[in-house]
């Protein structure tokens, strides 16, 4: 029996999930949150790709003897994640109609409450996802549908209230890492 033990999401998982959600949202060209998404993309590109590699003097850390190979592997993985995001966005277009505008408005309203904790936001997302999953046919891939609907909810909330994009993005990344991390890892591994 091949049993893997995970201590939860690591920095690489956070990067992968953030790239996946960012790529998914970027594959939605007719959304109302393009300006906010561009700003978030710039913010994340510095955080996701450089923070862990920069030394205090601003030079790149070269603790890998084969730094060029590691960078190429990283670029390959990034492209695999982006390809998965594009494919999920295409599939998501077909599911988007299953999310009622009233549900989106309610979630946007809850996410707008500044005193709402991150945990409370994740619980709101989980409750909405549970409602949506009940309307899905039993023969669909459960984890894939959960991932798609989670990312679609993020998209719809941000489309409804673009100012919420940053909060929705971070809540969604955390939610995916807590609930669907193994599935995301497998998706990316199978594309690589």
Per-residue pLDDT of the chain (192 residues; tens, 9 = 90+): 443 445 566 768 889 999 999 999 999 878 899 999 999 999 988 766 544 443 333 444 444 444 555 557 778 888 999 999 999 999 988 888 889 999 999 999 999 999 999 999 999 999 999 999 998 888 889 999 999 999 999 999 999 999 999 999 999 999 999 999 999 999 988 876
d(CA 125, CA 157): 10
pLDDT at residue 70 in the model: 53
Other CB atoms within 10 A of residue 67 CB:
13
pLDDT at residue 69 in the model: 55
How many helices, marked H, and strands, marked E, lie in the chain?
8, 0
pLDDT at residue 191 in the model: 76
Query: Two tokens at 145?
Result: 């549908």
In DSSP terms, 60 is beta-bridged to: 54
d(CA 168, CA 124): 11
d(CA 175, CA 172): 5
DSSP state of 60: B
pLDDT at residue 64 in the model: 46
Q: Report residue 17: phi and psi, to 5°.
A: -65, -40
d(CA 151, CA 169): 9
d(CA 176, CA 192): 20
pLDDT at residue 68 in the model: 54
d(CA 52, CA 143): 30
Listed in sequence order, the residues at least 6 apart from 107 whose beta carbon sits closer than 8 Å to its beta carbon are: 124, 125, 128, 153, 156, 157
Query: Two tokens at 188?
Result: 């990316």
Instruction: Specify the pTM.
Output: 0.82
pLDDT at residue 190 in the model: 85
């Amino acid at each position: 029996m091949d049993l893997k033990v995970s201590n939860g999401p690591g920095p690489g998982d956070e990067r992968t999930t953030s790239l996946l959600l960012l790529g998914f949202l970027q594959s939605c060209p007719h959304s109302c949150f393009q300006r906010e998404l561009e700003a978030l993309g710039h913010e994340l590109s510095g955080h996701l790709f450089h923070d862990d590699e920069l030394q205090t003097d601003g030079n790149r850390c070269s603790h890998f003897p084969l730094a060029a190979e590691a960078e190429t592997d990283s670029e390959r993985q990034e492209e695999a994640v982006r390809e998965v995001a594009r494919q999920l966005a295409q599939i998501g277009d077909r599911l988007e109609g299953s999310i009622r505008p009233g549900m989106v408005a309610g979630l946007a309203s809850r996410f707008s409450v500044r005193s709402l904790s991150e945990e409370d936001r994740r619980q709101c997302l989980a409750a909405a996802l549970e409602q949506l999953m009940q309307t899905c046919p039993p023969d669909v891939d459960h984890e894939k549908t959960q991932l798609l609907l989670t990312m679609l909810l993020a998209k719809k909330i941000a489309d409804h209230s673009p100012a919420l994009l940053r909060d929705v993005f971070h809540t969604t990344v955390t939610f995916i890492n807590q609930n669907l991390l193994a599935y995301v890892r497998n998706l990316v591994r199978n594309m690589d």
